[in-house]
Amino acid sequence: MTAPAILWFRQDLRLADNPALVAAAKGPVLPVFVLDDAAAGRLAFGGAARWWLHHSLAALGRDLAARGAPLLLLRGDGVSLLADLAERTGAASIEAGWLVEPWPRAQESSLSARLLAGGRRLNLHASTHLLRPDAILSGAGRPYTVYAPFARKVLAGGEPPAPIEPPAPLRGLAPPAPGLPLAALDLLPRPPQSDWAAEFGTAWRPGEAGALERLARFTAGGLPNYPTRRNDPSVEGSSGLSPHLRWGEVSPRQVWHAAREAGGEEAVPFLREILWREFSHHLLWHRPEITQTALRAPFARFPFAPDRNLLAAWHRGRTGYPIVDAGMRQLWRIGWMHNRVRMVASSLLVKHLLQPWQDGFDWFMDTLVDADPANNGASWQWIAGSGTDSSPYFRVFNPIAQGEKFDPEGAYVRRWVPELAPMPSRFVHRPWEAPEEIRRAAGLTEAAYPRPVVGHAEGRARALAALRATARGE
Ligand code: FAD
């Protein structure tokens, strides 16, 4: 008889295309999830991510119970809890997906050492990525620092392996002691913020079924128009798969093959975004400081001018720039922001407002349902000009022009900033320029909606001066 195994769910909360599950299910299996905030430290899951995790674990728990192997929930020191569980159940191995963040990697090596000492093994599988970040290197044998050659190399390597089916019914292994009820993980927002996530559920359906539904909707409808509609924040022009990918409710291999099947060559612009995710994770693996420290040394001395009032205006969507405020409010209400708007909002914070990108990174980690240290860190560094593959440092997004280009009628702004709904389209992205009678007719007082906290020309000039001085230090 095959020895029992523990199936350690981490960021692969699904049954399909899960090689750890297939390996564990050869014999009796005990699925487990451990919440270990202490190990994660500064990168512990933020509020919106925890909301997602709660609902995703509920869905996974139901799916596993229906297959005969209920999910055990634990909280605390992951390494000790798992090593102890392996010993008490007599499991020969723990099967899990490998991850790229520094703290889960540290967990992997400690747990592996503990298990080996008792004659057991930790077997790690590729369940969250297309490629191992250390398996793809440049011609010179070094990690990639620039996206384009990285993507070329991956695309030239051919298609990723096809997804694998989940095993039929599982043989559940009884835990030595009952686990925690889901509520004891304490993942949902608490008073006084209990209502914060009230609207999340209208936008999202966490869990594997929700992920597959979203993928099917996108491949059936959104994919052909993706190149033209992905930049329009007022429509569902992109896949909306980011939180599902973040939690591994669907694998990148499943997404890749579904897109290829539906779109063939037409799928490539979308697949290139999946490769941005792989690239960001490659960067985090090789440069773990990406979530905290400028990758280009001179940018560590960029003259940011921390100001709590400016940061608060940005958090609350009251910067006076409609496209940015719409994005920040969308983020607060549904835990997600459109990619184009993320770029404009993050650029405004770092450049016009001269606030440290790390503050923006932290806010996104707390409020995004797709909060991902690799994608978030790489994107903030790209915007700030401090990454290895960055937007040219002198690029300062113009928040007015970006709004007018990508939301010409102001549909997105009107939805998320209702104070501006009555404004005529020609002023919806520059309400401070509207004649007084138009502002009055729209009920737009200074108290209802602020003027820009920093004028565009002034903010841009200040940012460019700081950026030039910093770049000269290279
Ligand atoms: P689609 O356009 O449908 O793309 C498909 C998938 O590709 C996404 O789900 C995502 O997994 C991946 N992807 C797309 N764009 C990027 C990118 N630029 N970098 C890395 N992966 C990408 N994405 C996150 O998943 N988590 C984050 O914490 C995050 N923080 C960001 C912070 C800033 C400042 C910026 C500018 C971007 C950030 N992004 C982040 C990238 C991007 O905005 C989101 O992945 C995208 O908006 C998700 O929507 P979608 O699933 O509809 O994307």
Q: Ligand 1 centre from 379 Cα, in Å?
A: 9
Cα dihedral: 444, 404, 352, 231 (round 10): 120
**Torsions phi, psi for 93 (to 5 deg):** -150, 160
The preferred substitution site among 273, 351, 397 for testing ligand 1, maximizing ligand atoms within 8 Å of CB, is 273
Going by their DSSP bridges, the two strands 5-9 and 93-97 should be labelled as parallel
Q: Is 110 annotated as a binding residue?
A: no
**pLDDT for residue 474:** 55
Closest residue by Cα to atom 37, ligand 1, is 379
368 three-class SS: coil
Name which residue sits closest to atom 47 of ligand 1, judged by CA.
339
230 lines ligand 1 (CB under 6 A): yes
The reply to whether ipTM tops 0.95 is yes
Under 8 Å between Cβ of 456 and 399: yes
Token pair for 358: 């790390």
- Domains by residue range for the chain, with CATH: 5-127 (3.40.50.620), 129-159+207-286 (1.25.40.80), 297-472 (1.10.579.10)
> How far apart are the CA of 271 and the centre of ligand 1, in A?
12
User: Tens digit of pLDDT per residue, the chain (474 long)?
Assistant: 688 999 999 999 999 999 999 999 999 999 999 999 999 999 999 999 999 999 999 999 999 999 999 999 999 999 999 999 999 999 999 999 999 999 999 999 999 999 999 999 999 999 999 998 888 999 899 999 999 999 999 999 999 999 999 888 899 999 999 999 999 999 999 877 888 999 999 999 999 999 999 999 999 999 999 999 999 999 999 999 999 999 999 999 999 999 999 999 999 999 999 999 999 999 999 999 999 999 999 899 999 999 999 999 999 999 999 999 999 999 999 999 999 999 999 999 999 999 999 999 999 999 999 999 999 999 999 999 999 876 677 789 999 999 999 999 999 999 999 999 999 999 999 999 999 999 999 999 988 999 999 999 999 999 999 988 888 775
Query: What pLDDT score does 1 carry?
Result: 67
State which of 147, 229, 339 you would mutate to test the pocket of ligand 1, scoring each by most atoms of that ligand within 8 A of its C-beta: 339
CB 105 within 8 A of CB 286: no
Q: What residue type is 192 in one-letter code?
A: P
Closest Cα to atom 30 of ligand 1: 376
Test site for ligand 1: of 242, 256, 328, 359, most ligand atoms within 8 A of the Cβ: 242
270 marked ligand binding residue: yes
| pLDDT in the model for residue 360 | 98
Distance 5 CA to ligand 1 centre (A): 35
The 10 Å CB-count burial string (b at 16+, else e) for 47-66 is: bbbbbbbbbbbebbbebbee
Å from CA of 368 to ligand 1 middle: 11
Q: What is the CB neighbour count within 10 angstroms for residue 314?
A: 25
pLDDT of residue 446: 83
Per-residue confidence (pLDDT) for residue 391, from 0 to 100: 66
Pocket test for ligand 1, best of 228, 370, 386, 389 (most atoms within 8 A of CB): 370
Would you call 123 helix, strand, or coil by DSSP?
Answer: strand
On whether 238 is known to bind a ligand per the annotation, the reply is yes
> Residue 262: CB partners within 8 Å, gap ≥ 6?
219, 220, 223
Cα distance between residue 233 and residue 331, in whole Å: 13
- CA–centroid distance, residue 375 to ligand 1 (Å): 7
Residue 239, annotated as binding a ligand: yes
The neighbouring-strand residues paired with 93 are: 5, 121
Rg (CA), the chain: 23
359 is in an annotated binding site: no
- The string of DSSP letters for 235-283 reads S--S---HHHHHTTSS-HHHHHHHHHHHHGGGGHHHHHHHHHHHHHHHH
Task: Tell which residue, 268, 366, 316, has the closest CA to residue 43.
Answer: 366
Whether 48 and 371 have beta carbons less than 8 Å apart is answered as: yes
| 343 within ligand 1 shell (Cβ under 6 A) | yes
Question: Is the CB–ligand 1 distance for residue 368 below 6 Å?
Answer: yes
Amino acid of residue 106 = A
**Nearest-atom index, ligand 1, CA of 239:** 3
CB 466, CB 394: distance < 8 Å: no
Token pair recorded at residue 468: 């030039």
Q: Which atom of ligand 1 lies at the shortest distance from residue 370's CA?
A: 26
Distance (angstroms) between ligand 1 centre and the Cα of 413 equals 21
Spatial strand order of the sheet with 121-125 comes to 72-75, 29-35, 5-9, 93-97, 121-125
Please count the other Cβ atoms lying within 10 Å of the Cβ belonging to residue 9: 26
Q: CA neighbours within 13 Å on the CB side: how many for 250? A: 26
pTM for the model stands at 0.97
CA distance 441 to 423: 9
18: Cβ contacts below 8 Å, ≥ 6 apart = 12, 97, 127, 164, 166, 251
Residue 424 CA to ligand 1 center (angstroms) comes to: 32
pLDDT tens digits, residue range 329-346?
999 999 999 999 999 999
130 secondary structure, DSSP code? S
Q: What integer pLDDT is reported at residue 190 of this predicted model? A: 87
144 annotated to bind ligand: no
The CB of 273 under 6 Å from ligand 1? The reply is yes
CA distance 251 to 130: 8
What's the 279 CA to ligand 1 centre distance in angstroms?
12
Tell me which of 226, 379, 383, 406 to substitute to probe ligand 1's pocket, judged by most ligand atoms within 8 Å of the beta carbon.
379
* CB of 231 sitting under 6 A from ligand 1: no
Which CA distances in Å does 227 have to 215, 238, 272, 425?
Answer: 17, 9, 11, 25
| Distances in whole angstroms, Cα of residue 54 to Cα of each of 49, 59, 208, 276 | 9, 9, 13, 27
Distances (CA, A) of 364 to 68, 139, 273, 416: 38, 35, 19, 18
Task: Give the β-pairing of 72-75 and 29-35.
Answer: parallel
Q: Is 109 annotated as a binding residue?
A: no
For the Cβ of 364 lying below 6 angstroms from any atom of ligand 1, the answer is yes
Paired tokens of 257: 């093959």
